Structure 1
Amino acid sequence: MLAIYFLSNHPKWKWVFIGGLLIRLSLLLSIPKWSDDYPRFLWDGELVKMGQNPYLETPQDWLQNHPESTSPYLENLFELMNSPAYFSVYPPLNQAIFYVAAWGENLDTKSGILILRVILILGEIGIFFLLLKLFEHFQLSSKKLILYWLNPLVIMEITGNLHFEGLVLLFLLASVYALSKNKNTLSGGFWGFSIGMKLLPLMLIPTFFSFFKTRKSKAFWIGSAIAIIASFAWLLIDDSWIHFLQSLKLYQGKFEFNASIYYLLREVGFWVKGYNVIGELTPILSGISLIGILYFSWKRKPQNLLQLIDLWVLIYLFYLMLQPVVHPWYLIPAFGLSLFTDKKAFLIWTFAVIFSYQAYGDPNYQESSIFLFLEYSMLALAIYWDYFSTNSNPLLAK
């Protein structure tokens, strides 16, 4: 990827596109190896196809309570599942995609994976052309598209491991593109759908209040409200939202993976209190994240779209640095956005985060302190260069 980027002065986009697409298509029939999320995707989709609510019962409870509806296919998905004792944590917009996969799979895991993968590849194609359009609009070098389209992490996590951060990026880019065309209602709608796909873009809301073009735009907020309501209204059925929020809380306060600042503070907690203080640390770090997001949004006050995107990248970086769980695919939306800025941290991180995969090779998923140190040392140097070095470029002013 980097060789193609540095050696191509005037890349032929047709061949870059075909090359990246062929790599993705080569994974079309593969089974995800470094992620076991897909069984839950297919399980939830199968329940929706059966006319049942995936938020009302855990898979464990469902098998016990509905023996008449159980099938060898569902039992196989249950055996492959990583969290069968938890309620579904995937928003309704995800569930709609899972249903599409279940509708076409006919009780076959490989067919379900294939359908999910085709949907995600179509989303990736949309990202490719949106990036081209936006680079042209902002008069930026379109060479940066190579860094996304041929990025190993992006290909592996979206196409290979079936994660939906690519669709989040698609909606965020569509929101920016609509804003650049003064279509504020559409822009708000696309941002709302990005929240419907994964909740995380909700943290960008203060930036829209600090950005002059959206702050008082009724059209933008109406579009956002319509998309968010359309995405989440289904949670009001049978009080599904109670179980949905319960799962979010469990995931937020129970799991740890590839963290940075959180791990350092956890060690202090072990030293002071003698036990894992995740239950106490998580709300504190969430509060710090919120304060930081509000501060950066108020301090930066973006005056144009490039400055708005630059602010988004900073907020994603600040948020991820404080999280107890940082799966590699979490980086993808911010990495795609960072291509419109002079910041290199997320680009470096897409390579450094590969060290975190070491845990998947351990039978107990035990993380290595050495690999964590290598990953975050590289990231720390990139952050220093981007935000603290005298050699770093000033905020884009276009």
Structure 2
Amino acid sequence: MIRLWKYNKFSIIFTLVCVLFYWSFAYQLEREDFIKMFGLWIGLFFLSHRIIKINANNIKLLAGMALVFRILFLFAIPNLSQDFYRFIWDGRMLLEGFNPYLSLPETWITQGNAPIAQAQELYNGMGTLNGSHYTNYPPLSQLCYAIAGFFAGKNILGAVIVLRLLIILADIGTFFFGRKLLQMLHIPEHRIFWYILNPFIIIELTGNLHFEAVMIFFIIWSLYLLQKGYWYWSALALAFSVSVKLIPLLFLPLFFQKFILGFDKSKLTYRFLKLVGFYSIVIATTVLLFTPFLSSEFIANFSKTIGLWFQNFEFNASIYYIIRWIGYQTIGWNIIGTVGKILPLIVIGILLLLTFFRKNKNTTELITVMVIGICSYYFLSTTVHPWYIAVPLALCMFTNYKFPIWWSILIIFSYTAYVHPDFKENLWFVALEYSIVFGIFIFEVLKNTSKVSLKSFYN
């Protein structure tokens, strides 16, 4: 009884401090104040770790805390990202009957005839860089933005609240199906809180309104349905995730072994037909969801915007920055235009190697190669925004890899760029971030490879 009282006492204290820290983060923090941001960030990670450690068997209590921490952000305007202004813009344009993929906010503002409320305020908020490029958010994301526009078409804070509620609902879904999947895979349930109670997830997704939360919900739901044997519903859920963010397309090749070697004991022909059916449902559903927007102009605009991420934008990269430095030393200029075309091909090669040469017959092995695959993509990307790390973080709780958790802590160093008025990255901090992440990643790969080798040897 004394020990239980002691744990409850510390849980209460830690929780109250977390409430104060999250409140300060949501309503008092300026992103230029990196010292304060870093202090709150590290404090929240330490306290959250202790709370999970103390209450690992109290699922309801931890789930309640996760919900309370999210609700604290409900009325806060995001302070670390301005992307939400573009979300609101797209949603309101859609409700007014305009295809958001076919016009630029910059054009509407220049002409002075924007058909939506608060157009100038939204444009000022999203910034000229965002406003001068075509939107690249897929249809289900656009649907969420339209829902916000429907309920709050003339109030930015109202739209923020609606978007935040949708993200919180998605996290509740991730908690529900993620916990069930952990049970089915005989993995401790409290691992779900690596994601649900992770301060990075609460701040970046709920706080800053990044719809990776919705995409992750559909990915986890898809994996749960696949584990249950409902491959057709799993394909539909995966298509929905692609229609929120395109990134799950990278996972498609990795399902090959799951269907051909590990799905069931039916004839090879039937297993192959199921795989073809799975891919067909994913692709057909994705295309169907894009259909209302399809046109030659849409394809040109969407492709152009996607290409910018590989050949124009640079932020918080790792291997690419080393290649860029070599380019400056040998050629004398930035070679992103060339490298940005080559790196995606290398990623495809890595995914194919993982597909055919890395054992991934069961669900745990499949999720493990998904973690390695997505991180390989980010390691080779020219742009790695903090919220991108949410995907490997969500998946790693079903595996033996913990480096995405460390990455979710270290990603805070990328925000040192906002210390400078002209948004300039401190490459020493970028180097520190990735030195630790790569170090842990390599250690865990070697450790887990040794475990697999020993298991195979003794069996």
- Work out the CA distance in 1 between the residues paired with 2:53 and 2:119: 48
1:27-65 Cα distance to aligned partner (Å, 9 max, x none):
000011110101100111111111011111111112345
Matched, 1:121 2:178: no
2:124 is matched with which residue: 36, 57, 79? Answer: 79
Once the two structures are superposed, the pairs formed by residues 8-47 of structure 1 within 5 Å of their partners are 8-10=55-57, 12-47=58-93
Equivalence for 1:56: 102
1:92–1:196: 8 Å Cα contact kept in structure 2? yes
Structure 2 residue identity aligned to 1:225: I
Equivalence for 1:178: 225
CA 1:251–1:138: 2 relative to 1, 3 Å: same
Matched, 1:242 2:320: no
Secondary structure in 1 matching 2:162? helix
1:168–1:197: 8 Å Cα contact kept in structure 2? yes
Once the two structures are superposed, the pairs formed by residues 223-302 of structure 1 within 5 Å of their partners are 223-237=281-295, 239-302=297-360
Secondary structure in 2 matching 1:140? coil
1:135–1:141: 8 Å Cα contact kept in structure 2? yes
Structure 1 residue identity aligned to 2:240: F
- Work out the CA distance in 1 between the residues paired with 2:56 and 2:63: 16
- Work out the CA distance in 1 between the residues paired with 2:200 and 2:317: 18
2:445 is matched with which residue: 375, 379, 387? Answer: 387
- Work out the CA distance in 1 between the residues paired with 2:212 and 2:110: 33
1:185–1:221: 8 Å Cα contact kept in structure 2? no
Q: Which moved more, 1:111-120 or 1:234-243?
A: 234-243
2:414 is matched with which residue: 334, 356, 375? Answer: 356
Sequence identity (%): 31
Structure 2 residue identity aligned to 1:187: S
Structure 1 residue identity aligned to 2:64: I
- Work out the CA distance in 2 between the residues paired with 1:84 and 1:313: 33
The structural deviation recorded for 1:278 is: 0.8
Equivalence for 1:324: 382
Structure 2 residue identity aligned to 1:107: K
The structural deviation recorded for 1:9 is: 4.6
- Work out the CA distance in 2 between the residues paired with 1:72 and 1:25: 27
Once the two structures are superposed, the pairs formed by residues 185-224 of structure 1 within 5 Å of their partners are 185-211=232-258, 212=260, 213=263, 215-217=272-274, 218-224=276-282
CA 1:84–1:9: 2 relative to 1, 3 Å: closer
What residue ranges of structure 2 are gaps of 5+ in the alignment?
1-47, 264-270
1:385–1:392: 8 Å Cα contact kept in structure 2? no
1:208–1:215: 8 Å Cα contact kept in structure 2? no
- Work out the CA distance in 1 between the residues paired with 2:152 and 2:429: 39
- Work out the CA distance in 2 between the residues paired with 1:106 and 1:289: 41
- Work out the CA distance in 2 between the residues paired with 1:231 and 1:330: 23
**When the two structures are superposed, what TM-score results if normalisation uses the length of structure 2?**
0.82
Structure 2 residue identity aligned to 1:261: I
1:108 is matched with which residue: 155, 158, 173? Answer: 155
| Larger CA Rg, structure 1 vs 2 | 2
1:178–1:184: 8 Å Cα contact kept in structure 2? yes
- Work out the CA distance in 2 between the residues paired with 1:215 and 1:271: 50
2:93–2:115: 8 Å Cα contact kept in structure 1? no
- Work out the CA distance in 2 between the residues paired with 1:238 and 1:103: 28
1:152 is matched with which residue: 185, 193, 199? Answer: 199
2:93–2:99: 8 Å Cα contact kept in structure 1? yes
The structural deviation recorded for 1:94 is: 1.1
2:59–2:190: 8 Å Cα contact kept in structure 1? no
Secondary structure in 2 matching 1:197? coil
The structural deviation recorded for 1:317 is: 1.2
2:96–2:116: 8 Å Cα contact kept in structure 1? no
1:345–1:382: 8 Å Cα contact kept in structure 2? yes
Equivalence for 1:373: 431
1:103-142 Cα distance to aligned partner (Å, 9 max, x none):
1113111011111000000000101111110111111111
Once the two structures are superposed, the pairs formed by residues 82-97 of structure 1 within 5 Å of their partners are 82=127, 83-97=130-144
1:34–1:360: 8 Å Cα contact kept in structure 2? no
Structure 1 residue identity aligned to 2:198: N
Q: Which moved more, 1:177-186 or 1:360-369?
A: 360-369
The structural deviation recorded for 1:215 is: 4.7
Secondary structure in 2 matching 1:107? coil
The structural deviation recorded for 1:390 is: 7.7
**When the two structures are superposed, what TM-score results if normalisation uses the length of structure 1?**
0.94
